Structure 1
Amino acid sequence: MTDPSFYMTMAATALAGVAILAYTTLTGWRGWLALKQQELQHQPGGDRTAPAMPNASARIEIADLKERIRKLEAIAAGVDL
């Protein structure tokens, strides 16, 4: 086990394994990005020139969050509600 060629072989094998893993991960990442780009292009209003209006449930949720923020700010300021 003290043979230097053994360690060189193991290091080369490990390096090759890491290179293969990195290549396949990068290929998958590029494919995922291409898929997301296609999804964005095929959506209605894909040009994104005008921002879309949020739906009613999103507006209610935003209003609820704003109210919670106001209450937390009042608590932080020491104001009784």
Structure 2
Amino acid sequence: MPSDQIVTAAASLTAIAIVAFAMLRGWQGWLTLKERELERTAGGATLSRGESARETDTGSALGAARIELSDLKERIRRLEAIASGVDL
């Protein structure tokens, strides 16, 4: 009886180790893929429509600035509402 339990435990431990190893390899592969994508966009590679990665970075920075500006405007509106005693 104890030998059956030992065999089951050993098989389960082996299965867990195999699954963990496969997941680790997948994670490392995903990280490598993301590193290559970052290197490709940061390296000044040309995109499909002919614009450079530098132009894309500027566009995303402008978009981020617009979002930040709208957030600041919303905060100002909330502060003005608090100052005037109005609940939002």
RMSD, aligned α-carbons: 2.2
- 1:64 pairs with 2:62: no
Question: C-alpha displacement at 1:67, in angstroms?
Answer: 1.6
Which protein has greater RCO, CA pairs closer than 8 Å, 6+ apart?
A: 2
Distance 2:12 2:79 in 1: 55
Number of residue pairs the alignment of both structures matches? 71
Gapped regions of structure 2 (runs ≥ 5): 45-56
| 1:23 aligned onto 2:21 | yes
Listed one character per residue, the Cα deviations across residues 6-55 of structure 1 (whole Å, up to 9, x for unaligned) are 11011001101110010000000000010011111111456xxxxx5412
Once the 2 structures are TM-superposed, how far is the Cα of residue 73 of structure 1 from its aligned partner? 4.2
Alpha-carbon distance between aligned partners in 2 of 1:15 and 1:73, rounded to the nearest angstrom = 58
TM-score by length of 1: 0.71
Percentage identity across paired residues of the two chains: 30
Q: Which structure has greater helix proportion?
A: 2
TM-score, normalising length: structure 2? 0.66
Runs ≥4 in structure 1, deviation > 4 angstroms?
A: none
